[in-house]
Structure 1
Amino acid sequence: MADELVRRAQRFINTQYGNGATLGISKLEEDGRTGWTTMYALTRALQYEMGISALSNSFGPTTLSTLQARHPKLDDTTVPSAIFCRILQSALYCKGYDGGEIDGLYNSRVKAAVTRLKQNMGVDTLFPGSSLEPKVVKGLFNMDAYVTVNSGSDAVRSVQQWLNSRYVHRRDFFIIPADGHHSRDVAKSLLLAIQYELGMADGTANGVFGPGTQNGLRSHTLSVGSTGTWSMLFTGAMILNKRNVAFGNFTAGVKTAAEQFQSFSKLPVTGLGDFQTWASLLVSYGDQSRKGTACDGVTKITTARAQTLKDNGYLYIGRYLSNASTTSLPEKMIQPGELATIKANGLRCFPIYQTWSRSADYFSYPQGTADASAAIEWAKYHGFKPGTIIYFAVDYDAMDGEITDFILPHFRAIMHMIGENSAYGVGVYGPRNVCQRVGDAGYAAASFVSDMSSGFSGNLGYPLPTNWAFDQIATITIGSGAGAIEIDNNIASGRDTGQGDFNPGEAPLAGLDVGLKPAYRAPMLTDVKTYLTSIGVPETGGSGWTDSDWATYKGISTTDAFDKVLSMDVLFTELARQLRLRKALIQAPVLWELRKWNPLDYFADNAVKNGLKDDSSTGWGQIFAWVTIEARNYCVQQGIFNGPLLAGSDKGWVWRRNHEESEYNIRSVAYLTIYNAHQINQPRPSLTTSQADTQALLARYNGTGGDAEQYGRELIGLYNVLENYNNLSRSQ
């Protein structure tokens, strides 16, 4: 919601500083919404008024030291100018406090706002009164909140305020949010606090969990009855890890919570605040000297290496289903005979699937579909049995927004493809936040946590995911000679024990469709347009459309229909590969129905939406819900894909999915193709289905009778155009 006084703050910056030119920025949008762009502009304005020549978005060491030297306390008697005061007032408004009209007066309203700000931060005892001290100013010029927001925890906020109140006087400790949410800054500040209590000097304390910090913590074991600052730090760390304890003394309740945390994290259950518990509370990898029973690696498991693993207490080995590179890490993929070696030595294997997965732009619904399909094929190739959980990798520090926009759709596609087309399970490998959110969405049964990357924002400030199976904490080398092997040492929770027995491998079927090669896109479209024009379907219009109809109902041109189909090429390809039929058999009716969409389809869909009808042909493939139900039930009963049997009462739900979800609609078209073969007593479509049988299947898509036969004659030509380029692509 726009705030008029924030808008006035933005207008002040634009007016005072030449629409941002003086500050080296663009003119601010005067939208009344606080954001980093506005806070950066205010930071630059503050720097400018203090005479700093190299302006920056960052309120960094130069800005802070200059403020400390020139203005150690800002109030109504020390604020250097009205302009300087207006900058402070603007920042207060952007932070949600009363800035007093942005009039350049450090008046009673400003004083009251500053007093409340410092109370909210928790620094009012250290910095009493209504003045603005430099570290308070630094905390004012950012987007941190100092009140509980977005369902934050009051207990977490109490810890945050306590940390601010106790340590803000230290050189490298800056005011952290008091918003009720754990975060990267809070995690680092807690480590700084521990280092200060260990006696580290300013400049030595750095918020890193290094040897000095670890050694110091070993002498600070807590138990029931412990009180004071160390008990506050321990209970604060427990609260930040979402453990329900009272902030303060080490009570019997804290002991119980510690035991629960230790059990969950697979630590020795002592009920003490001992070193390993401290370590797991403070950093994602915890005590890296812990002995794990699981590992993963990119090296082939030979008999000698298997013996090394057994000798070192390892039971479970994570290995990769495929290798995106044939030159780098040549043994990354499971090697021939390797699983037999693992089995013979009494070990177990859990499979990992990864190609790139190192940036947000890799992840999407189509890519998830492709990854899941490839993983199924590779898992069968190696002989993994039904029930195996395959871990799909997110191998980078994904921001929370990227998880929402990219990673969750990716894993939704994986879940759909794995769930419908195999008996395998889905796991996720990645930082804690990724694993927890994918699991919470219902898209993964287990998590393999990349906790070695302790600096990832997706690990800092997040507890171990509730469904964790493997916790990756350190890279080590064990064994010697032929038995030497480098591995990632993992803690195992017991949620997944991998596989200790394997089926004979299934080689991929030759001749399966692949994605359309980019070079064929343009000629394929040209040939599609030429063919459709030859049978009376021009680029636009036709079939009774008027120009007015086309404008009103937004008809779909041949190019539009083609582009839509090609946008889902990954899904068409993977369905064809899973069902072992030709991709063009699914593409042809979908492209045709998209191009032939007309006002009657529009009115029929609206009749269903308005409750005047209970069904209509809808979506990309113009398919009825009742037909979808019959086709899907038949395929489920035949074991073609996994899913529940649908009833007539599901018609409304099925219609909505067909209408709103192109992926569901296209899958329904594929299943209907198989059901139609059954309907006309024809063999299930395959990679070698004859031209005549293909035409009969396409005709049955439109029912029976003369119109259906004509439909088949028209679509077989379109099928042949599409199949020509699909064939060229798979022949390369």
Structure 2
Amino acid sequence: MDELVLRAQRFINSYSVEGIPAVEENGKTSWEVMYALTRALQYELGLTTLSDNFGPATLARLQSQYPVIDAGTHYANLLRIVQSGLYCKGYDGGEIDGLYNDRVAASVDELKTNMGVDVAFPRGLTPKVFKALLNMDPYVVVAGGREDIRSVQQWLNGRYVGRANFFILPCDGHFSRDVQKGLMLAIQFQLGFSDDVATGVFGPATKEGLRNNPLTVGSTGTWVNLFSAAMLFNRRPGVVFTGTFDSLLSGQVRVFQDFVKLPVTGNGDFPTWASLLVSTGDNTRRGTACDTVTQVTAARAQALRAAGYQYVGRYLSNVPGSTLNKMIQPGELDTIVAGGLRVFPIYQTFGGSAEYFNYAQGTVDALAAIERARYYGFKAGTTIYFAVDFDALDYQVTDNVIPHFRGIADALRAHSAGYGPSIYGPRNVCSRVGDLGLVVNSFASDMSTGFSGNLGYPMPENWAFDQISTVSVGSGTGLIEIDNNIVSGRDSGQGSFAPAPIASNLDVDFDMAQRAQLLSEVQNYLVSIGVPEDSFPLPEPTVRTTTSAFGLLMQYDAIVTALARQLRMRKSLIQCPLFWEMRKFNVLDPIADDNVIAYYRDGNPLGSPDSSTGLAQIFAATAINSHNHCVTQNIIGGRILDTSSDGDMWEVWQQLHSDDGYNISTVPLVLIWNASLLGQGRPGLDYGEEDTRRVMGRYNSTDPDGEYGYQLIGLYRVFEKYNAPLRG
């Protein structure tokens, strides 16, 4: 807690004005605090409509009433807003006493210097600086930022802040959406656009202006400053901010042009400007790859090949419930190859919002993609592009997308025998997932130029395809609409296929129309063996009821189904121990988990090196032994782990504890290992009931003929009653 920010929050909460909401007094700067200060300013300026937006009306009123705020300003609450804003930005705001004293003046001067506008605004606090004060932009380098980028941000602010529609950019050393727009405005100002014409949009007039201002070795001046700034923002190694286009800069341009597959000229020509400024680059370029939701017939293949295309991206599956039939059709791959084209596969069902993405769903997607890819005959070495088809903000990449791709990578590593995980999505998403080594290639969705994940982010280093435009190719029966893609050469697709036989009698997703009926039968069975709906008089999540455990089981039905299909075993066999352990969760389980955390994280020797944890209550040692057995039997892929290694034990335990998808994925491996310990055959689609009972009995006991197995076999019969009729 920052005591001075707390004082600012208390000042905000001293207002008793409709439209100025109270803020939490936690001593932490946030958008909520800045919005409240903005509303307080609007109130003090006499505006009748208060909003979070420091917009044109607020700026105009401030300009007319207080064009400069300094020691001659005697308006206590206005100055308290300034002081509060300074504290929230990390500067000395005085005492929030309504006085523009020497401390406040020094902080305002420091703030303007950090912004790069101290020369443009030498005296006091001006309206544009006030606007920048009441947002969350930093004006010092923050984690991962670069001083050379910050210097460009300051240069842009100092040079263009006097233009009406140019507002102070962050100076944090990071290229971002706002900085990209600021650079585009600077280019338009350099082209002579008036304030009402300059919008920061890469439109026809801007493109024409850049075509008319090429840069070559020997060029000097502001155009070179702007070009070198764009190179820096795209994180080109070795580039410095300069006003001289020398041979060194030309060489760096050549490297960039080769990287994005432009003609290598070494000049600051229009195609290079375009690739530096917008994600599509020059979207009139014709690529050699495409992707399409439309079946490629012989006539369409011929049209594509005639237009110069060599690679086609096609979908492995449809979106459930959609009427759009976008997946590869019977015989289509042979037609494509006969037409002289190669194919790269894309997997996408939904993927249009952050809520879809998590480790368990990543596992489901990977297993479904494996099944479809094998069905179509894609061979080992194929990379499958999994789609992130929404404007993922950075925190959503961290919280949702990265765990999702960990699930994909783990599942492909374990079950695919040679398929590589790759990603389709905005630049930032591709780069962040790629930087963690979770994907082989990136397919940049650069056509979405307005996406936050494309604006202000360079091309991913591992890009294979770059989607830049939608075009139509061919005519008559050969007419086809495609997304036009530039090719890097990292992925040459597949040109031959060996379709796998269609598997039968596999389990499928549960028919949720029967959910209530199945729950009722599960409840009745459990009551019959002495397990009531609620075994403990304690609220969740301290314990679970039958209904809540069943709800979790249904929530994860897709991953259980996918695992059963992939491992060719009965879904009911996985469901029984998983459901039982979720239902039996109690107050002692978290205590055991805390002891393990204390042992590894805190180094407490009185803690425990292992506990049964997560949804299915699995020990790390059990998970490792099961994993190793399945690896040595070539059931899954992966490295051998060591139960005597604290590093392996802690890593596996944490995944079991915190990642439901990983925990559930371990259940069938434990059952397979149990069968080997009992000298039984591996659980399969025709596994007998007696073998099933003994394998489940071994899940939570060394005695396969104990009570546990007999309790679960009755539950198994209930699940089988509903699962069996659904199988194809």
Structure 1 residues 141 and 598: CA distance shift in structure 2, 3 A? closer
- What CA distance in whole angstroms lies between the structure 2 residues aligned with 1:315 and 1:38? 54
SS of residue in 2 equivalent to 1:41: helix
Alignment of 1:603-642 (within 5 A): 609=599, 610=605, 620-621=615-616, 623=618, 628-642=623-637
- Specify the alignment match of 2:397 in structure 1: 403
Tell me by how many angstroms 1:463 deviates: 0.3
Residue of 705, 720, 724 corresponding to 2:721: 724
- What CA distance in whole angstroms lies between the structure 1 residues aligned with 2:495 and 2:35? 57
Tell me by how many angstroms 1:592 deviates: 3.4
> Is 1:512 aligned to residue 500 of structure 2?
no
> Is 1:488 aligned to residue 483 of structure 2?
yes
Query: In the alignment, is the contact (CA less than 8 A) between 1:628 and 1:654 conserved in 2?
Result: no
Query: In the alignment, is the contact (CA less than 8 A) between 2:507 and 2:727 conserved in 1?
Result: no
- Specify the alignment match of 1:142 in structure 2: 135
Residue of 418, 421, 439 corresponding to 2:415: 421
Residue of 17, 31, 37 corresponding to 2:32: 37
Structure 1 residues 217 and 603: CA distance shift in structure 2, 3 A? closer
Deviates further, 436-445 or 162-171: 436-445
- Specify the alignment match of 2:664 in structure 1: 666
Tell me by how many angstroms 1:319 deviates: 0.9
TM-score when scaled to structure 2? Answer: 0.91
Q: Report the residue type matching 1:715 in the other structure.
A: L
Structure 1 residues 155 and 47: CA distance shift in structure 2, 3 A? same
SS of residue in 2 equivalent to 1:266: coil
Query: In the alignment, is the contact (CA less than 8 A) between 1:183 and 1:462 conserved in 2?
Result: yes
Q: Report the residue type matching 2:142 in the other structure.
A: V
- Specify the alignment match of 1:153 in structure 2: 146
Query: In the alignment, is the contact (CA less than 8 A) between 1:561 and 1:594 conserved in 2?
Result: yes
Tell me by how many angstroms 1:669 deviates: 2.9
Residue of 216, 219, 225 corresponding to 1:223: 216
Alignment of 1:88-167 (within 5 A): 88-129=82-123, 131-167=124-160
Query: In the alignment, is the contact (CA less than 8 A) between 2:613 and 2:657 conserved in 1?
Result: no
Tell me by how many angstroms 1:597 deviates: 6.5
SS of residue in 1 equivalent to 2:705: helix
Query: In the alignment, is the contact (CA less than 8 A) between 1:376 and 1:418 conserved in 2?
Result: yes
- What CA distance in whole angstroms lies between the structure 1 residues aligned with 2:176 and 2:609? 50
> Is 1:206 aligned to residue 199 of structure 2?
yes
- Specify the alignment match of 1:59 in structure 2: 54
- Specify the alignment match of 1:450 in structure 2: 445
Tell me by how many angstroms 1:132 deviates: 1.7
Unaligned runs of 5+ in 2: 600-604
Structure 1 residues 150 and 704: CA distance shift in structure 2, 3 A? closer
- Specify the alignment match of 1:568 in structure 2: 556
Structure 1 residues 327 and 392: CA distance shift in structure 2, 3 A? closer
TM-score when scaled to structure 1? Answer: 0.91
CA RMSD of aligned residues (A): 2.8
Deviates further, 494-503 or 603-612: 603-612
- What CA distance in whole angstroms lies between the structure 1 residues aligned with 2:12 and 2:584? 55
Q: Report the residue type matching 1:708 in the other structure.
A: D
Residue of 58, 64, 72 corresponding to 2:67: 72
SS of residue in 1 equivalent to 2:422: strand
- Specify the alignment match of 1:310 in structure 2: 305
Tell me by how many angstroms 1:419 deviates: 1.8
Tell me by how many angstroms 1:613 deviates: 7.7
Aligned-pair identity in percent equals 56
Unaligned runs of 5+ in 1: none
- Specify the alignment match of 2:696 in structure 1: 698
Deviates further, 360-369 or 667-676: 667-676
- Specify the alignment match of 1:435 in structure 2: 430
Query: In the alignment, is the contact (CA less than 8 A) between 1:657 and 1:665 conserved in 2?
Result: no
Tell me by how many angstroms 1:652 deviates: 6.9
Structure 1 residues 601 and 9: CA distance shift in structure 2, 3 A? closer
- What does the per-residue CA deviation read over 1:671-693, in whole Å, with 9 as the maximum and x for residues that have no partner? 23233444445443222323233
- Specify the alignment match of 2:602 in structure 1: none
> Is 1:173 aligned to residue 166 of structure 2?
yes
- What CA distance in whole angstroms lies between the structure 2 residues aligned with 1:625 and 1:35? 40
- Specify the alignment match of 2:566 in structure 1: 578
Structure 1 residues 309 and 669: CA distance shift in structure 2, 3 A? same
- What CA distance in whole angstroms lies between the structure 1 residues aligned with 2:513 and 2:624? 38
Deviates further, 623-632 or 151-160: 623-632
Query: In the alignment, is the contact (CA less than 8 A) between 1:631 and 1:675 conserved in 2?
Result: yes
Deviates further, 85-94 or 522-531: 522-531
- What CA distance in whole angstroms lies between the structure 1 residues aligned with 2:29 and 2:587? 46
- What CA distance in whole angstroms lies between the structure 1 residues aligned with 2:702 and 2:6? 66
Alignment of 1:332-481 (within 5 A): 332-422=326-416, 423-481=418-476
- What does the per-residue CA deviation read over 1:390-434, in whole Å, with 9 as the maximum and x for residues that have no partner? 111111111111111111121111112222111211111110011
- Specify the alignment match of 2:580 in structure 1: 592
Deviates further, 509-518 or 451-460: 509-518
Structure 1 residues 452 and 613: CA distance shift in structure 2, 3 A? closer
- Specify the alignment match of 2:2 in structure 1: 3
Deviates further, 624-633 or 354-363: 624-633
SS of residue in 1 equivalent to 2:664: helix
Query: In the alignment, is the contact (CA less than 8 A) between 2:546 and 2:583 conserved in 1?
Result: yes
Query: In the alignment, is the contact (CA less than 8 A) between 1:615 and 1:652 conserved in 2?
Result: no
SS of residue in 2 equivalent to 1:102: coil
Query: In the alignment, is the contact (CA less than 8 A) between 1:616 and 1:625 conserved in 2?
Result: yes
Tell me by how many angstroms 1:589 deviates: 2.5
Tell me by how many angstroms 1:555 deviates: 6.0
Query: In the alignment, is the contact (CA less than 8 A) between 2:161 and 2:167 conserved in 1?
Result: yes
